[in-house]
Amino acid sequence: MLNFAIETGFALIGLALALNLWRLMRGPDVTDRILALDTMNINAIALLVLYGIRAHSGAYFEAALVLAAMGFVGTIALCKYLLRGDIIE
Amino acid sequence: MSAFIEIMVSALILLGSAFALLGSIGLARLPDFFTRLHGPTKATTLGVGAMVLASAVYFTATQPGFSLHEIAVMVFLFITAPVSAHLLAKAALHRLSARPDTHASELGK
Amino acid sequence: MIRRLIPRPLLSITLFILWVVLNNEVSIATMMLGFLLALTMPLVVRPFWPDGPRLVRPGMAFSFALRVLTDIVVANWSVSRRVVGPIRNLSPAFVEVPLDVRDPFVATILASIVSLTPGTVSIDVDQNHWVLKVHALDAPDHEALVHQIKWRYEKPIREIFAC
């Protein structure tokens, strides 16, 4: 049963990532693309955590943590750039 | 691992991935940027939260001792999601008002 | 003396718990290092750490956090149904909520809660007029939304931080 849940989870998140990719390509504005990237990043965290359960290893968790931190900083930097044309004022 | 734990982890995984997918459907389907912002900031964050909780339950049940560091990621995501949504909204508003053909009604003024 | 050594007890406790949780084990070594970090880090950041309001009612903060969490889960469900359902029935709107809060930190917490509870995203906090601008996914009734934010979230937060 756990295996079934994990396989289904992979499928659903894969589909979610495909939808995000579609929005990333479609746009229409830069902000939409940043939002799509941010969502892809969060979905990738879910994918990593799921893979960690499947592989029965805690190592993937560290990667998820790094992804969470870097994704947030990246999104903030991109937004800041759009707002001011500068990242560090 | 007992059957109860297995059912709980499976339910959390299914719930989490379903919410993540719903958030992404919202992102792909809704008509303009500000409505699109609603899907990922909430549904996706909650989805990953459930997923991470599933991981915490699973590793607590299968390994010696508690596994709580997953909760730290969950808290981190719940703190950062509104901040990035807020800044994205601000950036979008800024870009809208910078464009000459924008009507005042689109800015909510 | 104890106040000079531990200028921010809450920050110290948070750091200690975070360190132990991130290490994912409760042993003498991690606890000692966590204790050391909890002691030194507040001292190091003291020159630039902003002065927030004091948490006066921790018990109420806990029950409020639980309520916000259940709100997030319950309301996510209803919003998800709307996202999958027909889009034309939605009436998205910008709503301005006048605030009684006059503290940047508390306003930030309120804005974050508004963003996390589905149906609303906070767009802007005007610190000159203290108005919170909110975008709602489906708000046929603006007054009801303003009322909900003010009474369900702002009032308890103001009581928790006594401001």
Give the pLDDT score at B109.
45
Length of chain C: 163
CA angle in degrees (0–180, nearest 5) for C120-A65-C79: 20
Residues of C whose CB is below 8 A from B102: none
User: Would C50 be classed as within a structural domain?
Assistant: no
Residue with tokens 């808290």: B75
Question: For A56-70, B69-83, B95-109, C102-116, which range has the lowest pLDDT when averaged over its residues?
Answer: B95-109
Are A61 and B84 an interchain contact pair (Cβ–Cβ within 8 Å)?
no
B neighbour chains, 3+ CB pairs within 8 Å: A, C
Q: Is C69 within 8 Å of chain B by CB?
A: no
Distance from CA of A55 to the nearest CA of B (A): 12
Predicted confidence (pLDDT) per residue in C31-59, tens digit: 899 889 888 888 888 888 877 777 777 78
Within 8 A by CB and 6+ apart from A1, the residues are: B6, B7, B10
Query: Number of folded domains in chain B?
Result: 1
Structure-block tokens of residue C42: 């507040």
Q: Do B70 and B52 meet the contact criterion of CB atoms below 8 Å apart?
A: yes
Query: What residues in B contact A9, CB-CB < 8 Å?
Result: 13-14, 16-17, 51
C113 and C157 within one domain: yes
Q: Which helix (H) or strand (E) holds B51?
A: helix B45-62
What domain range is B20 assigned to? 3-107
Are residue C64 and residue C41 in the same domain, yes or no? no
In a domain, C18, yes or no: yes
Check A22 against B72: CB less than 8 A apart. Answer: no
Interfacial residues of B (vs C; Cβ cutoff 8 Å) = 19, 22, 25-26, 29-32, 34-35, 37-39, 41-43, 45-46, 65-69, 71-72, 78-79, 81-83, 85-86, 89-90, 93, 107-108
Read off the tokens for C54. 């004091």
DSSP secondary structure of chain C: -HHHH-S-HHHHHHHHHHHHHHHT---HHHHHHHHHHHHHHHHHHTTT---PPP---HHHHHHHHHHHHHHHHHHHHHHHHHHHS-STT---EEEEEE-----HHHHHHHHHHHHHSTTEEEEEEETTTTEEEEEESS-S-HHHHHHHIIIIIIHHHHHHHT-
Q: Are C30 and C22 in contact (CB under 8 A)?
A: no
Chains that touch A (3 or more CB pairs under 8 A): B
For residue C34, the enclosing domain spans 2-45
Report if residue C28 sits inside a domain.
Answer: yes
ipTM score: 0.84
Mutation to test the B interface, candidates C26, C77, C80, most B Cβ within 10 Å: C80
Same domain, C89 and C10: no
Examine residue A89 and state whether it is found in any structural domain, yes or no: no
* Together in a domain, C134 and C156: yes
Which residues, at least 6 apart from C38, have a Cβ–Cβ distance to it below 8 Å? C12, C13, C15, C16, C19
**Residue A24: pLDDT over 70:** yes
Is residue C33 domain-shared with residue C71, that is, in the same domain? Answer: no
The candidate with the shortest Cα–Cα distance to B26, out of C76, A10, C142, is C76
Distance of alpha carbon B74 from alpha carbon B64, whole angstroms: 22
The whole-number pLDDT of residue B68 equals: 79
Q: Which of B25, B74, B84, B97 to mutate to test the interface with A (most CBs of A within 10 A)?
A: B84
Q: Residue B107 has what pLDDT?
A: 52
| HEC letters along chain A | CHHHHHHHHHHHHHHHHHHHHHHHHHCCCHHHHHHHHHHHHHHHHHHHHHHHHHHCCCHHHHHHHHHHHHHHHHHHHHHHHHHHCCCCC
Residue at C114 is within a domain: yes
Q: What is the pLDDT of residues C64-116, one digit of tens each?
A: 888 888 888 887 887 777 777 777 777 777 888 888 877 888 888 888 888 88
How far apart are the C-alpha atoms of B96 and C3, rounded to whole Å?
49
Same structural domain for residues C103 and C150? yes
Task: Indicate whether A22 pLDDT > 50.
Answer: yes
Do C16 and C63 belong together in one domain? no
Instruction: Looking at mean pLDDT, say which of A7-16, A75-84, C5-14 comes out highest.
Output: A7-16
The answer to whether residue C51 sits within a structural domain is: no
Q: For residue A37, what is the domain's CATH number?
A: 1.10.287
Q: Among A50-64, C71-85, C145-159, which range has the highest average pLDDT?
A: A50-64
Q: What integer is the mean pLDDT of A38-60?
A: 89
* Interface touch B27/A2, C-beta < 8 Å: no
Q: Is residue C117 part of a domain?
A: yes
C144 and C99 share one domain: yes
Task: State how many domains chain C has.
Answer: 2
Claim to verify: residue C64 and residue C143 sit in the same structural domain: yes
Residues of chain C in contact with residue B34, where contact means CB-CB under 8 angstroms, are 92, 121, 123, 135
d(CA A15, CA B24): 9
Do C130 and C91 share a structural domain? Answer: yes
Of A2, A42, A50, the CB nearest to B44: A42
Q: How many domains does chain A have?
A: 1
C41, C63: one domain: no
Are C72 and C133 members of one domain?
yes
Which residue from B minimizes the CA distance to A46? Answer: B48
Interchain contact, B43 vs C111, CB within 8 Å: no
pTM of the model: 0.85
Candidates A73, A72, A35, B87; CA nearest to C122 is B87
Which is more confidently placed, B25 or C50? B25
pLDDT of residue A88: 60
> Is C29 within the bounds of a domain?
yes
Question: Would you call B15 helix, strand, or coil by DSSP?
Answer: helix
Domain, as residue range, for A47: 2-84
Residue A64 within a domain: yes
